[in-house]
Structure 1
Amino acid sequence: MTNYTVHSQDTAPQGSKAILEGVEKTYGFTPNLMAIMAESPAAVEAYATVAGIFEKSAFSPTEQQIILMTNNRLNGCTYCMAAHSTISGMQGIAADVIETLRDGTELADAKLEALRVFAVQVNTQRGVLENAQIEAFLAAGYTKASILDVIIGTSFKLMSNYTNHVAQTPLDDAFQANTWTADQSVAA
């Protein structure tokens, strides 16, 4: 296995230092994922940029977390599931929604469930969707722009989930209370 350095602002390559500084100012610490991504200035910049773009989507914080946590679960990313469980709680997302996303079970709200199902379909079908699936998503009250924004969120999680798999990113203390394992997931 290749070991990755969990960089600080002092050890990171020059092109990553400013991004790590900004992350630390925003969160009060540098999450290990970002510290590992700092190995590649292009990777850490891409991740930070796509995160900022996804936040500009029309999705509410709850809807954003539905997309992100669904991808984390499907991709078996223990780091991101713990991190986003913590972030979701900090954003005031209902505890039952967080637990449902961690378990991969059906959400009570029909529109949010349509989003969760669509996020599953985009991930598991690698974007090769049937017209009926797209029409069901649109009928739930989402738009064609929403479809593209789900793809952005899926892409965002692909970067972090795959990085965590390759680097075996250690879980930060801030996320320990929400540790998750892939065997907790019950459904696609």
Structure 2
Amino acid sequence: MNAIAFPTLDDVSSEARPRLEGPLKHLGFVPNLLVGLSTSPAKLASHVELSRHFAKLDLTGIEMQVVLIVARLENACASCVAAHSTFSAAPSCPMRSWMRWRRSCAG
């Protein structure tokens, strides 16, 4: 298996750095996807803007995570599913409902 080399936050360009500060402040870390996209500031900017528009939809937090998890399941990204499952396990999410939904997806 080939390892993907991600830049460190110190190596990120000055153009990309501001777009990583929000996730770092909000989550306490920068997801690998964003660090990877930071090698192309235009791609990173596009992803951040798309995320901002997605957040404006009339969906609850858990509904947004469900949409993201389904997309990640379809793309077979196990680490992405795990990450969004963690976000969905926040206190605002009823755990029993969440686990019931996850079991139904495992089919």
Does 1:88 find its partner at 2:104? Answer: no
Q: Percent identity?
A: 27
Q: CA distance change for structure 1 residues 27 and 21 in 2, over 3 Å: closer, same or farther?
A: same
Q: Which of 1 and 2 has greater Rg?
A: 1
- Structure 2 unpaired stretches of 5+: none
CA distance in 2, matches of 1:4, 1:15: 22
Q: CA-to-partner distance for each residue in 1:100-125, whole Å, 9 max, x for gaps? A: 4444x27xxxxxxxxxxxxxxxxxxx
Alignment of 1:77-156 (within 5 A): 77-90=77-90, 92-103=92-103, 105=104
Q: Is the 8 A contact 1:61 1:91 kept in 2?
A: no
* Kept after mapping to 2: 8 A contact 1:69/1:101: no
> Are 1:53 and 2:53 matched, yes or no?
yes
Correspondence for 1:74: 74
Partner of 2:35: 35
How far has the Cα of 1:55 moved from its partner?
0.8
Matched letter for residue 69 of structure 1: I
Corresponding residue for 1:62? Answer: 62
Question: How many pairs are equivalent?
Answer: 107
> TM-score normalized by structure 1?
0.50
Structure 1: runs of 5 or more not aligned: 107-184
Aligned position for 1:19 = 19
Distance 1:65 1:16, change over 3 A: same
- Mapped partners of 1:48, 1:87: distance in 2: 18
1:46 deviation in Å? Answer: 1.3
- Residues 4 and 41 of structure 1, relative CA distance in 2, 3 Å threshold: farther
8 Å contact kept, 1:9–1:21: no
